[in-house]
Amino acid sequence: MYRRLNPKYIRIAGIVLICLVIILLIGGYIAYGKRGAMLQSAINKAELKAKRDYNLNLKIGSAHFTGLSTVAFTDITVVPENRDSLLTIKKFAVGIRILPLIYGAIKLADVNLQDAHLNLTDINHVKNFDFLFKKKKDTTAHTKVDLSQLSYNLINEVLYKIPDDLTLKNFVVSFTNDSSSFRLLTQKALIKNGQLTSTINVNNGAATWHFEGRVHSSDRDIDVKLYADGKKVELPFIEKRYKLKVNFDTISTRLSKVEHSGGETRIYGYWGVRNLLINHPGLASNNIIVPNASIDANVFVGENYVSVDSSSVIHLKKIIAHPYIKYTLNPVKIYELKVNTGWLNAQDVFDSFPSGMFESLEGMQVAGKLNYSLNIFLNAARPDDVQFDSRLDKNQFKIVKYGKTNLSRLIGTFVYIPYEKGKPMPARVIGPKNPYYTPLDRIAPDLRNAVMTAEDPSFYSNHGFVEESIRKSLATDYKDKKFKRGGSTISMQLVKNAFLSREKTLARKIEEILIVWLIENNHIMTKNRMLEVYFNIIEWGRNIYGVGEASRYYFGKTPAELTLGESIYLASIVPNPKAGLYAFLPDGSVRPGLLGYFNLIGRMMAMRGQALRDSSGYGFYNVRLRASLRKEIAPVDVAVADSMMKQDSDEDVTPLIEPEKKPTFFQRLFGKRDSTPKKAEPRLDPKAKLKADIEKIKEEERKKELLIDTAGKTRKEIRQEKRRLKNEAKDKEKALRESVQ
């Protein structure tokens, strides 16, 4: 049975409640009566803060309450000191929800804005919005930022500033710089009952855009799209500024849920685009067109990291892939990337390539299944330990029909047309009809081995790619903060020369990788045939293509007659063939700066049993340029010429070395000084020379490590040998730095 409450307690509770209501009413009345003064005080504080912190002149014509929680403003102007006017607003009314305000949160209920202009200018390097980039002086102690809490608070702040009801008329956003301008006029935008509609005039009638969709910010439910009337959405300002042409039919975004628990903020969203067109000289020479692409992205933010979870799904036409991306900020930066497609129908994969990206593969018909996986892990504190694993697995995969390019045409006689700066050079027949064509068995073994040692030591055992080389490239590029070191194998160089243009674009590089995979994994050509074609089409000098032309041009010999020294020289110019003649002195001998390269390649060949140990430069002193070419050699400063060769050296490299005298250890390390009187010559900047010498040491270490990987040693022996090489490189670098100081 329930106990009956004592009437006395009921009366006391009622009296207390009535007293509280009376106090609230009195307080509300006083506050209501003084709210005008409070509003003016807040405006004064805002004006002072804008001037003090940002050097902005904020002026408000009038401000008054029009209801219990609605404030109306007129004639608002924001002008940075000594800058163009930034913002003008004729009428602005904003209403606040009372209940959230009681808990200290400001939630916009109604916003009405009319006749406003946000004017951004950048004239003669003077911006009227540069105050946004000025950092405040931080006098407080630095505390660790919790990204999870910060992101959750930021999302809530943004969502709470989206009003439940919005009426916007004639709001102009313009940007003007020295060379271009851009103008958006929002003629009308409404949010009513959670539905957004808008009409935006672009560049005085050039186009009309629409933002439409569902906006329930309180429920964290937003689903909007952008499209244009009767045409694509174009971004001409981006094209002028960044040479990036972008347009699309529709772009959509959706925020479906935001959670915060266990020290992690989880954001569930969607982004999609239809008929996207991209054109940039760094991506591809043609327009790249993606009919439809989207990602269901689950973004997780922790205390010190941001990640795209593996539960996310990428859709690209018929391709489905699961990405995992994680960026850890502290205590050290860590980058993680994983992609996994699972088994896909191979034809669906080829049909899903964006048009204009892989021209040679267009129309290709295939059968079977493919599965791609990628794993990259890089710790910024230990970039040399970067992990890289990329593989495309196949199941009963085969090529049914070639596309635009017949990848098997290199098996027999074919016509090769080299290109220089986009222009075709004289065509070469790659076959017996060409007097310079040289079968593989008529190329000196020393030349074959020297080129493979320099370019791709594991050519016969790899499948077109050397993951260790790519891994080292990633480490080097990260440390140097630029794309500097490549990981191209002979197979990749062959494909680049035989099937693709010389343009340096991301699309061409990916296309090169795909074609190499197709040739290697479908056994379209034997390794011997690939090497034979490679030697007969690569460039060896200005308008010199193929080893037959090169051996006669430089030495007046057939490829079969080349010596070890001549072979190593020809291997040295493969990366930079147009600088081939810079390697020689006017008497036809090789410049001293290349001695280290000869020793490096020669020792690597000797370790593989391809040459005899030689303490005399592996034929360096016996190489002589053909006599009729020596007159073309100008008496250029040796140091400058050697730098133009862009070749590697090792501890035996001796700039300006005198071959008739055996140098000391320190002369070999730092270079022997020539005591004979000379005219004043231009000298390299000491810092630049130090940087170049250190890079040579690092490149030498990388080549030696590559040789260790292919020497058949145990893992323990490989680790010990690499550790020894690293220590040697560090000692050399330290000695170089001390010598400069």
**Helical packing angle, 506-521 and 490-499, nearest 10°:** 110
Above 80 in pLDDT, residue 175?
yes
Over its C-alpha atoms, the chain yields an Rg (Å, rounded) of 35
Over residues 425-446, the pLDDT tens digits come to 899 999 999 999 999 999 999 9
Above 70 in pLDDT, residue 485?
no
* 627 falls within a domain: yes
Which position has the higher pLDDT, 658 or 517? 517
* 334 falls within a domain: no
Q: Residue 579: CB partners within 8 Å, gap ≥ 6?
A: 573, 644, 645, 646
Above 50 in pLDDT, residue 543?
yes
* 570 falls within a domain: yes
* 518 falls within a domain: yes
Residue 263, sorted as left (phi over 0), alpha (psi -120 to 50) or beta, turns out to be: left
Which position has the higher pLDDT, 298 or 466? 298
Instruction: Kindly state the percentage of the chain with pLDDT values over 90.
Output: 49
Which pLDDT score is estimated for 32? Answer: 47
The model's pTM is 0.73
C-beta separation of 670 from 696 below 8 A: no
Listing DSSP states for 232-287 in one string gives -EE-HHHHHHHS-EEEESEEEEEEEEEEEETTEEEEEEEEEEEEEEEE-TTT-SS-
Residue 437, sorted as left (phi over 0), alpha (psi -120 to 50) or beta, turns out to be: beta
pLDDT class of 626 with cuts at 50, 70, 90: very high
Which position has the higher pLDDT, 707 or 176? 176
Which pLDDT score is estimated for 502? Answer: 74
| Paired tokens of 254 | 């959706």
Per-chain mean pLDDT for the chain: 82
Q: Residues 462-491: what's their mean pLDDT? A: 79
Which pLDDT score is estimated for 82? Answer: 87
Over residues 376-412, the pLDDT tens digits come to 999 999 998 999 999 999 999 999 999 999 999 999 9
Which pLDDT score is estimated for 276? Answer: 94
pLDDT class of 648 with cuts at 50, 70, 90: very low
* 307 falls within a domain: no
* 266 falls within a domain: no
CATH (domain of 644): 1.10.3810.10
pLDDT class of 2 with cuts at 50, 70, 90: very low
* 95 falls within a domain: no
Angle at 320 between CA 315 and CA 324, to 5 degrees: 90
What's the number of domains the chain is made of? 1
Which pLDDT score is estimated for 444? Answer: 97
* 593 falls within a domain: yes
pLDDT class of 638 with cuts at 50, 70, 90: very low
Full residue range of the structural domain in which residue 644 is found: 406-740
Which pLDDT score is estimated for 35? Answer: 57
Which position has the higher pLDDT, 660 or 209? 209
Q: Can you give the length of the chain in residues?
A: 741
| Paired tokens of 37 | 């003064």
How many Å apart are CA 309 and CA 325, to the nearest integer?
7
Above 60 in pLDDT, residue 728?
yes
